[in-house]
Structure 1
Amino acid sequence: MFTVLANHSYRQLFLAQIVALLGTGLATVALSLLAYDLADDHAGMVIGTALTIKMLAYVFIAPLASALFRALSRRKLLVTLDLIRASVAVFLPFVSEVWHVYILIFILQSASACFTPLFQATIPDILENEEQYTQALSLSRLAYDLENLISPALAALMLTLMTWQGLFTGTVIGFIASALLILSVTFPIMKAANKNRSGIYQKTTRGIRFYLATPRLRGLLAMNVAVTCAGAMVIVNSVVIVQSTFGLSAQDTALAFTFFGGGSMFAALTMPCLLKRMQDRTLMLGATLLLILGLFSASRISHIIELWTIWFLLGAGYAWIQTPSGRLLTRSSHEEDRPDLFAAQFSLSHACWLFAYPLAGWLGVKLGVSLTFSVFGMVALLAFLLALKLWPAEDPEVVEHYHANFPENHPHIAHSKRLHSHPFVIDDLHEKWPRKSN
């Protein structure tokens, strides 16, 4: 897996991802402490609102940014977004009102909603070899999981030397270091996008339209629903099970999250080997079944060891679906359209989280956590059946199709027939997936 780090450009971008993640992790801890300082007993409401603002920015800003900024230099744009995030982190320690926090969080998360899909879409342009790109996806997943373990520990260490305001200094340093590392990379020249497009609405929805017209990506969206069912229940209700049901401590809650992260890390480490032996669809559908099994099993948890086991399995299933998604997006797009598709995946997947988070909490209170696990298990089962239908087992890269409405002199069919075959993706010339009869 680590041989991909021999590529200088990717290595610099991977390091940029790590330092930015550490900065974000420190900001998460610092934001909790800031909320408590400003709102005391109502800190949970402040944090919940901030998370909602984050999700709204992710859902709506990502596709809009992809439409507005696609013609700009990717390197300059990524560096600018890192500097914007660093600037927001500079101001956060000095806020005195809760509404200040909300405004700054919206700016910070809007910059992240612009940054993350563009950064993700750049990696397959640098690593054109699919095996190397698969390794990079696994490393990226590993980085996210390690950040969840390292950032809280680093924050605890820093708090022995400084006040919570000092944690934002680490955030600023992380984003600036990320910007400097990105500046050291020579980005491949991106193919020019088609300029003959209509207004801002068409440009903004372009990635989502292409995404929803691609069968394998419709299947991915269905599996994203299962992912959020499992992830939201773990994130929202772990503390309820561990501390209210079992009567254990906050340390035990942290340990439960560690098992979930451990499962995700296990999946990331094993994924390159698994994808040499099976298709993406097989692995991802199998992982969805694992999530369904875990959700139904969680409704009957009676001991902390059972919880650790189930959380590990849920973490593995979560990552076996999330991590290969970049391969599907790359396979389903031309280079010049890739940022639009990654932005669509970013937006649509976070829309699932936007519903799953509050439902996991609200249903957990109204129905009880055990019954809520069963409800979410049923939703995940429906998502699995939908994914089976939407993503056919026969999913070739080269597809025979027919252009009925093209004039005889159209460039696309000038050197071939109306009925022809080539690697097929949804684009301006192919707006619908061909039926099997074609």
Structure 2
Amino acid sequence: MTMNLKSVILFGLLLGTAFAPARAETPEQKAERMEWFSRAKLGIFIHWGIYSTGKTSESWAFHNGYVSLDDYMKQREEFTAAEYDPALWADLIAQSGARYTVITTKHHDGFALWDTKAGDVSAVKSSPAGRDVIAPFAEEVRKRGVRLGFYFSLIDWPREDYTDIYRAGPVRYKIADEPERWQHFVDFNFAQLRELNETWKPDLYWFDGDWEHSAEEWRSKEIVDMLRSTNPGVIVNSRIQGYGDYATPELGVPVVRPESEWWETCMTINNSWGYRLDDDDYKSPHTLLCMLVDCIGLGGNLLLDIGPRADGTIPDEQVAVLKEFGRWTGKHAEAVYDTRAGIPAGHVAGYTSLSLDGKTLYVYLPYRPTESVEVKGLKSRIARVRVVGTDRELAWKQYNDISWSEVPGVYYIDVPEEALDEQITVLALDMEEPVRLYRGSGQILSFNEY
């Protein structure tokens, strides 16, 4: 039997796994699509689901055998969302200075937070909440100009048509032995993603769980093609077996910049992704802000996670962190959003970034200088030094600036106590030209004109 292209596409749409191929994207087109993400710098991750009772970790609790699947799923009975205020959530996110947010639409346990027609396990059908909790959140977030991202687990361990459930095994089946069963699961994934995509057209998808199967098995390329067929500007993270746009190192800022041009570090606010009754080990705002400027200095973003309770309230400790982030990012917006990766370590004791034109070097000081801040290896000359977020200019001196030496002199910037921010002080070194650096090991002078 022969089929023309139109028939092939129609047949694929019926199956839910084949779509017209996307046109090849040029590097310039991708850079344009990624521009908002590259400037965003801060996002807020939200882990919310039946695990938000605080009794267990999200999904891994039953997968790793710490609790039975039945006991884990019984937590649905306490997912009430009774105090859920999506407008308050959106306000806190916007006030934090975050330019995007990513909410868990479905974790590895298969519990969907929207009114999915593709399955029976959801906030609407199988919890006291009895309603779609994604819809009002998406509406409120977009009212505030914040980009909307959806976390979606490719894994759905409890489903009978998925291959695995427990880490220690045994597997339910092998795809090679039961391809029709696997196809049924793939169709289910496509159906749920189509619902999310056509209803909300999110700005970003944050996939997870791709390690359990290959790109061919997940139909990764087809997933991305399907999403972009109706949502062409959407950004996709790396966890889809090679078809994503940006890297996602987890729970630790990289020591060196990732190879990917675009990346983010996702980070918990305490030690847990979801709300936990027994986890009060919260990181301080100062610690988390240091992580933010570290990411900025390496040219990436920080995706900071919060974990609301099952009733929809957000713990006070998490609210306090978001508000302090808002104070700091609001004051230092110039040195947060429209920046690119800074200069290599060793030139100054602090984190750095550059303005987009390269003519301003931002220096982030997570400490209180006792006298002055040393900056070495700057071949470009400083025109002035400012304290970002204030109208204050600082004095500086340059020592050993010898005209016939290739090694530039060392700058010492006076930073008085009253100029310091309570968390991280930011200096703006406005240069006479785009920053140029000396990166050598020093020089022995063989003559002296004095």
If each structure's strand is expressed as a fraction of its own residues, which one has the higher value?
2
Whether TM exceeds 0.5 here: the answer is no
Structure with the bigger RCO (C-alpha within 8 Å, sep 6+) is 1
TM-score class, shorter:
under 0.3
TM-score by length of 1: 0.25
